[in-house]
Amino acid sequence: MTRFTPAELEAARDRLVPDVVADGLHVLFCGINPGLMTAATGHHFARPGNRFWPVLHLSGFTPRLLKPSEQRELLSYGLGITNVVARASARADELSAEEYREGGRLLAEKVTRLQPRWLAVVGVTAYRAAFDDKKARVGPQERTIGASRVWVLPNPSGLNAHWTAATMAEEFARLRAAAEQG
């Protein structure tokens, strides 16, 4: 993996990282916003401590552990990645309430256009802020966006100590089973 200096990472602040999307996906995973490592590399969930890629594999979504640089391969499995807020920051707490609300509005438009079976938001706090749903919990939600159903997953950041890779994989696997049922 490429090593970046602090200055190179800081230079990635506010960059946009292209979505990995297509029409009619089984699951569209939605991160909070790109971190600086993601923005510097152009690859989603690129920070080494992030557990997204290992959990995706452990849960059975992918047949092998993918590297962030292989993110486009997700499309062949009917999976994609986007974010609630497009701009990169060092920490999610740098985002304003208005950015989350606007991100939720834009995300709903994107989901309506792309029509994935499931929108999977990784991070209950981000979901609550984006969709003004203070009572949301991890798991399937009542809300739908067009014909797309919504599932909230635990945030795979290494900072989320409440969830282990194994317990996250169990929750991701619940979503995978639901997505396979149609």
Give catalytic residues, as residue numbers. Answer: 33, 44
Rounded to an integer, what distance in angstroms lies between the CA atom of residue 123 and that of residue 35?
A: 14
Phi, psi of 80 (to 5 degrees): -150, 175
CA-based end-to-end distance of the chain = 37
Rounded to an integer, what distance in angstroms lies between the CA atom of residue 29 and that of residue 153?
A: 9
What are the DSSP calls for 89-133, one per residue? -SSGGGS-HHHHHHHHHHHHHHHHHH--SEEEEE-HHHHHHHHT-
Specify the DSSP class assigned to residue 67.
P
Helix, strand, coil percent content, the chain, rounded in steps of 5: 40, 15, 40
